[in-house]
Structure 1
Amino acid sequence: MTSHRPNGPRAGFWSRRTLLRVLIVLTLVSGTNYLVWRWLDSVNWNYWWIAVPLVLAETYSLIDAFLFGTTMWRLRERGEPPPPVEATVDVFITTYNEPIDLVMATARAALAIDRPHRTWVLDDGARDELRQAAEAAGVGYLTRSTDWADRPRHAKAGNLNNALFATDGEFLLILDADQVPDPAILDRTLGYFRDPKVALVQTPQWFVNVDDSDPLGSQAPLFYGPIQQGKDGWNAAFFCGSNAVLRREALMQIGVVGYVREVGRAVRVALDAAGRVVREARRTAAEHSPAVVRALDEVDAAVGRARAELKQGEPLSEVTYRFQQRVDEAGRGVVAADAESLRADLAAIEALPIASDDELGAVIVDDVALQRLAARDWSPLGALESVKALVRAVDVDLVAEAQPVMPMATISVTEDMATAMRLHGAGWRTMYHHEVLARGLAPEDLSSMLHQRLRWSQGTLQVMLKENPLTQPGLSLGQRLMYFATMWSYLSGFAAVVYIAAPVLYLFFGIRPVQTFGGEFLARLLPYLIITQVLFSVVGYGIKTWRGQQYSLALFPLWIRACTTAVGNVFFGRSLGFVVTPKERQQGGGIPWRLIRPQVVAMVVLVAAAVVGLIRLGLGLAPTAQGTWVNLVWVVYDLVVLSVVIEAARYRGPVSVEERAT
């Protein structure tokens, strides 16, 4: 396939965007009209246990349509890129356990990139065979430094962060191990960096081993097209982990900001513990002298002032220094009155598990120490000393990590979205260049595809739970909505269960979640559905978007699993079990029915419901004939959508790894 060369906004672009905006407005108006009626007049409260979930699922879908419409509102088609800037570039090829021949095919193609650059293989598997192959080809080879031993590795983000501190190029081209670059990739992207505020230029991911039917939905033409172009219009184009060029300065800036944020969090935790210590000491302070009570009041005020200074953005070193000075001042004059109790308290402080790392010059206080400091019944002056020990013990070197500054975000198993969101929050700009400039390998079987989708959805939901874009500082309203739209889409699994269950309950048992399926229902629903499909058709004109729509429903068990595991990881510390997506076919010759068991069960139940519904209609047992036909159409739609997983389970990739370079 030849590269897609952009030639500026195509003829009729502005009229197309006007049409899109009209359809977006009509979709939202018709959808709101339908949902208001559903909530106010049509919920069958006799069966609230299915009626309420159904109207909530429909509300979810309308919000999803609003977010999609907002994305498309500023759809942007960029023209020819500016001439490239002259700069130093490091090409990073990330790998863990991919076949060495595959990695080296990408590396050799990277060597042939037109503009001056240095090519590096970042081998997280530390394989001697790959090192030798890279050296023989004249390719740089990097693996983790010894600083990473016995510390969190942070998967691909950690691999990239390690390489950032071992290289010095002004710009970075990041490629996955299977993404073979076009020689012109830097010529076509570096020009955007003439704008000094541009931090990222993302290009599409396109796969050579996907045929026209694309039963696994790998090509994602809707995302790597209208959606990214829409986000680009809001200055919210995403970093997608590969086929992107980034500005080192921007990454290092957000890395430093992240470091300051982590130290600030540690100081806030220490101040919270200090506040608890002082409150406990004040509880018994009445039996001491007025000077002691006054000292505790002053320390409590010092804790409040330190918190306020942190919120105002005061430098951490100055905040902690002033706090220590205030505590010292409060403690003067009460030493003699509290000397005997102080001796016992100092001995208790000495016994706390506060370790010193002489090599790093750091003092480390762990959670056990914090709990003991906050919980002990201190004498008033002992409380003052413990408060100072808490703040002194903040780990400013972050010695639990291999390196204190992590430019690539490490809060998620997918580092790309979180990194892009932090870049946008820091005021940087991003661009989406819609031209295929690298060709890779998609998963060739259902098992690998499901694993890949699960990792993507888990990572996205981790970001939502840890750094919700709706509350992150520095983002514009449009950027908040663009990030949230992607995160919101992964909640569709719960709505899908309801959309499958509702027609089954009606056809089997005559349970109506809606008061009527009659004329008013159809008059309000059909315009909404028709206009929505027309909108999708205009957005996806000339590209195949049906697979994406199918998988949003058909992978409902996976989306639900992603939600539960992401919540378990973020709030309960459970592992996600990160594994690199295989680049070669994994399953044997049989159909892996176990992977799609929930969907197969759902399809069997839907077929049975259709048969029972027709029988009940013929026997005169159906609540209404119109309701039966509406739900039969609903069942047929569900079956058509779910059928994609059967095709996916039977699919075998048409192109082998060895054939992709030809």
Structure 2
Amino acid sequence: MGFYFEKFEHRVPEAPIPHSPTRELLWQYFAVVALVIGAWYLTWRWTDSLNYDALWYALPLVLAETGAYIGLILFTINLWKVEDTPKKSPPYQLSEIVDYTPEDDRPISVDIFFPTYDEDPELVRLSIIDAKKIKYPKNITTNIYILDDGKREEMKKVSEEEGIFYISRNSNIGFKAGNLRNAMEQTSGDIIVICDADTRPFPTILEHTLGYFRDSNVAWVQTPQWFFDLPEGKPLPVFLEKYLSHSGRWLGKAIQSVMGEVRVGADPFVNDPKMFYDIIQRRRNWCSASFCCGAGSLHRREAVMEAALKSYAEQIEKEVQKTGQELQKLTGETEISPALYDTLQKQILHENEFTPYRFHVSEDIYTSIVLHADPERNWKSVLHPEVESKMLSPQDLLTWTIQRFKYAGGTLDIAKNDNPVFRKGMSLPQRFMYGTTVWSYLGGIWNTIFLFSPLIYLFFAIAPVEAYSTDFYIHILPFLILTEIAFMLGGWGVAGYVSKASYLSFFPVNLRAIWTVLKGEKIKFPVTPKDRQEGNFLHLIIPQLSVIVLTSLGILFAWSQFLAHDGDYTLSGVLINTFWGMNNILALSGIVYAALWKPDDA
């Protein structure tokens, strides 16, 4: 059968963004200046600008600004510098990647795992075929495994036809984490390569990454995920010509002559992960704080098992102590007898399963936290900057929403129950980096306030500040301008506005994740669909549409009132809230397009 992505097979990934010490120095300079000016602005906001006649509005907004400013500080720390882990030559013998001398030295063995559940077996076959093309300059042992949680005969048949190993199990306990645990019990590779069902590894993946494991403290290496099927979109002249005939084509060319190439419909779901891997994760290498993201990662078996054993022991001890304290309250005893303690321990051991990968919707980052927090081994992580595989992106808004909710809910659930910021064993920089990740998912709170705040002035002429005076502009404009310059330099090579707009559009999913975690509900494990889901997805963006419609009406209303000299509207107030509202509309328009988007051949 044919797949929609066959026409994209010729694509090759971009090279990593080249490191420029000069640009990095400029970024650091402007970032520091922007933060200082931002602190000055916030001090003024709290002490001299609040509208005390509308504190119900002024206080939430200034709190939102403060929350965003804290996020800005954390993001600045995250992006501070590029310090790639030095590459090393590919190892051959086991003795080259461990800190002891093996009794019987041998070639390194590598297991390549493809966990699958309900994906098309022919899609998985493509991943297997590419995995079989992996090359290595030395003769090491490489085994490929299909881990089929769907227990499908057709998947087993594909495995047999391709000459690889097939592993299934009787239950789906723990979902992907449980699937990986089951496979680890039946395999023995020194290094484990984790792939998704649609991950197509390049022939160079082992040759380019195994060298990092020469450092015996490197626990895992994450390679960037690259979606080779992102829609290219249409050039603006072609798009406008469809609706405005020849005049549209000329208009499009005129706009492009000023702005450069503009493609309408390119990557409608903002799936391009370059910002995340090449900027955010890569900038964490200097303090060994890049975390595992699953597909495209390589793990040292010893590290996974050792950390899991320690984590398991801690978990059992905590539960024994908790149960013991409850028994003491019931019985009035001051201490638990050794015999009862042993009985409790055995019972709890029986009730809790040992798993190398945590049974959690975000098992990848959870396992990373456990390894980074091991003070005895000082496990390191590496973000390898070059793309070493290709995979498929979400092709509809429903899939996109499922994926984003899992990311947000899973991370926040970890923050609530086992917060890495306060976990023993983490270095201070690692705490900051994990804190940045957690804080970013709380952004849905202040983003919601930023989106709805202009409406209060546009409809009711109530301002959050005493006045939109010269003093207001003197404080806010330098902060905004310097911040834009700083992060343009800090994120050089990546479309920054698109990422910010996507983050803002994310607010309903983010709020739902926050509320789900606060209620104590378990984040579910839905498998991200690999096929495009058909249907109308406008119902998924009702909050965003509401903001767009209300803001548009508010702008019209405010201007009509101002021009009619009706109400307390001022020119400055109407202008700044119109600009604010238009920026919100522009930022949210992308997700509206994504909800309506269909591939050209649909």
Common topology (TM > 0.5): yes
Deviation for aligned residue 1:78: 4.7
Contact 1:443 1:583 in 2 (8 A): yes
**Other-structure match for 2:448:** 497
Measured in 1, the distance between the counterparts of 2:182 and 2:22 equals 48
Structure 2: gaps of 5 or more residues:
1-10, 94-107, 233-265
Which letter maps to 2:157?
Q
Contact 1:122 1:159 in 2 (8 A): yes
Aligned with 1:585 (options 525, 529, 532): 532
Q: Deviations over 1:98-148 (max 9, x none)?
A: 11111111012112211341000111111111011101211111112x5xx
Corresponding position: 1:420 with 2:368 = yes
Aligned with 2:190 (options 150, 154, 170): 170
**Other-structure match for 2:150:** 125
Q: What secondary structure, in the 3-state scheme, does the structure 1 residue paired with 2:529 have?
A: coil
Alignment of 1:69-468 (within 5 A): 69-78=76-85, 80-86=87-93, 87-115=108-136, 116-144=141-169, 146=170, 149=171, 153-212=173-232, 213-279=266-332, 300=334, 302=335, 323-324=337-338, 389=340, 392-395=343-346, 398-401=349-352, 404-410=353-359, 412-426=360-374, 427-468=378-419
Corresponding position: 1:62 with 2:69 = yes
Deviation for aligned residue 1:549: 0.7
Judged with a 3 Å threshold, the aligned counterparts in structure 2 of structure 1 residues 210 and 196 are, in CA distance, closer, same or farther, namely same
Measured in 1, the distance between the counterparts of 2:455 and 2:570 equals 15
Which letter maps to 1:107?
I
Contact 2:220 2:300 in 1 (8 A): yes
Measured in 1, the distance between the counterparts of 2:56 and 2:482 equals 30
**Other-structure match for 1:614:** 559
Q: Deviations over 1:240-294 (max 9, x none)?
A: 0110111000000111012201210122113212431453xxxxxxxxxxxxxxx
**Other-structure match for 2:58:** 51
Q: Deviations over 1:400-420 (max 9, x none)?
A: 34xx3211122x301111111
Which letter maps to 1:27?
A
Name which of structure 1's ranges 646-655 and 456-465 shifts more when overlaid on structure 2: 646-655
Relative to the length of structure 1, the TM-score reads 0.78
Q: Deviations over 1:579-599 (max 9, x none)?
A: 1111111023xx421111111
Measured in 2, the distance between the counterparts of 1:396 and 1:27 equals 57
Measured in 2, the distance between the counterparts of 1:393 and 1:422 equals 25
Contact 2:405 2:510 in 1 (8 A): yes
Deviation for aligned residue 1:575: 3.9
Judged with a 3 Å threshold, the aligned counterparts in structure 2 of structure 1 residues 522 and 464 are, in CA distance, closer, same or farther, namely same
Contact 1:271 1:391 in 2 (8 A): no
Judged with a 3 Å threshold, the aligned counterparts in structure 2 of structure 1 residues 277 and 424 are, in CA distance, closer, same or farther, namely same
Measured in 2, the distance between the counterparts of 1:51 and 1:130 equals 59
Deviation for aligned residue 1:154: 1.7
Measured in 2, the distance between the counterparts of 1:234 and 1:33 equals 30
Measured in 2, the distance between the counterparts of 1:129 and 1:548 equals 40
Contact 1:215 1:547 in 2 (8 A): no
Q: Deviations over 1:68-117 (max 9, x none)?
A: 10001133245654334441100001111111111111012112211341
Contact 2:127 2:197 in 1 (8 A): yes
Q: Deviations over 1:356-413 (max 9, x none)?
A: xxxxxxxxxxxxxxxxxxxxxxxxxxxxxxxx54652334563334xx3211122x30
Alignment of 1:533-612 (within 5 A): 533-568=484-519, 571=520, 574-588=521-535, 591-612=536-557
Q: What secondary structure, in the 3-state scheme, does the structure 1 residue paired with 2:422 have?
A: coil
Contact 1:20 1:72 in 2 (8 A): no
Q: What secondary structure, in the 3-state scheme, does the structure 2 residue paired with 1:117 have?
A: strand
**Other-structure match for 1:469:** 420
Q: Deviations over 1:540-564 (max 9, x none)?
A: 2222232221111112111101111
Which letter maps to 2:365?
M
Q: Deviations over 1:39-69 (max 9, x none)?
A: 1111222212211110111011101100110
Which letter maps to 2:286?
G
Q: Aligned pairs, how many?
A: 537
Q: What secondary structure, in the 3-state scheme, does the structure 2 residue paired with 1:120 have?
A: strand
Measured in 2, the distance between the counterparts of 1:82 and 1:654 equals 45
**Other-structure match for 1:524:** 475
Contact 1:209 1:655 in 2 (8 A): no
Contact 2:118 2:150 in 1 (8 A): yes
Aligned with 2:595 (options 649, 652, 655): 649
Relative to the length of structure 2, the TM-score reads 0.86
Measured in 2, the distance between the counterparts of 1:655 and 1:111 equals 32
Deviation for aligned residue 1:18: 1.3
Measured in 2, the distance between the counterparts of 1:74 and 1:63 equals 19
Which letter maps to 2:569?
P
Corresponding position: 1:634 with 2:585 = no
Judged with a 3 Å threshold, the aligned counterparts in structure 2 of structure 1 residues 217 and 81 are, in CA distance, closer, same or farther, namely farther
Measured in 2, the distance between the counterparts of 1:224 and 1:507 equals 40
Contact 1:215 1:644 in 2 (8 A): yes
Q: What secondary structure, in the 3-state scheme, does the structure 1 residue paired with 2:302 have?
A: helix
Q: Deviations over 1:466-487 (max 9, x none)?
A: 1111210100111011111111
Measured in 1, the distance between the counterparts of 2:75 and 2:478 equals 18
Contact 1:20 1:538 in 2 (8 A): yes
Taking every aligned residue pair, what percent have the same amino acid on both sides? 34
Q: What secondary structure, in the 3-state scheme, does the structure 2 residue paired with 1:561 have?
A: helix
Judged with a 3 Å threshold, the aligned counterparts in structure 2 of structure 1 residues 414 and 501 are, in CA distance, closer, same or farther, namely same
Measured in 2, the distance between the counterparts of 1:81 and 1:462 equals 37
Measured in 2, the distance between the counterparts of 1:653 and 1:469 equals 41
Which letter maps to 1:518?
S
Corresponding position: 1:479 with 2:504 = no
Measured in 1, the distance between the counterparts of 2:18 and 2:457 equals 48
Contact 1:447 1:587 in 2 (8 A): no
Measured in 2, the distance between the counterparts of 1:390 and 1:274 equals 11
Q: What secondary structure, in the 3-state scheme, does the structure 1 residue paired with 2:345 have?
A: coil
Corresponding position: 1:32 with 2:53 = no
Measured in 2, the distance between the counterparts of 1:537 and 1:451 equals 30
Judged with a 3 Å threshold, the aligned counterparts in structure 2 of structure 1 residues 73 and 540 are, in CA distance, closer, same or farther, namely closer
Contact 1:89 1:118 in 2 (8 A): yes
Measured in 2, the distance between the counterparts of 1:209 and 1:105 equals 15
Name which of structure 1's ranges 253-262 and 79-88 shifts more when overlaid on structure 2: 79-88
Measured in 2, the distance between the counterparts of 1:598 and 1:491 equals 18
Contact 2:71 2:436 in 1 (8 A): yes
Deviation for aligned residue 1:25: 0.6
Larger CA Rg, structure 1 vs 2: 1
Q: What secondary structure, in the 3-state scheme, does the structure 2 residue paired with 1:643 have?
A: helix
**Other-structure match for 1:317:** none
Contact 1:178 1:441 in 2 (8 A): yes
Judged with a 3 Å threshold, the aligned counterparts in structure 2 of structure 1 residues 4 and 81 are, in CA distance, closer, same or farther, namely farther
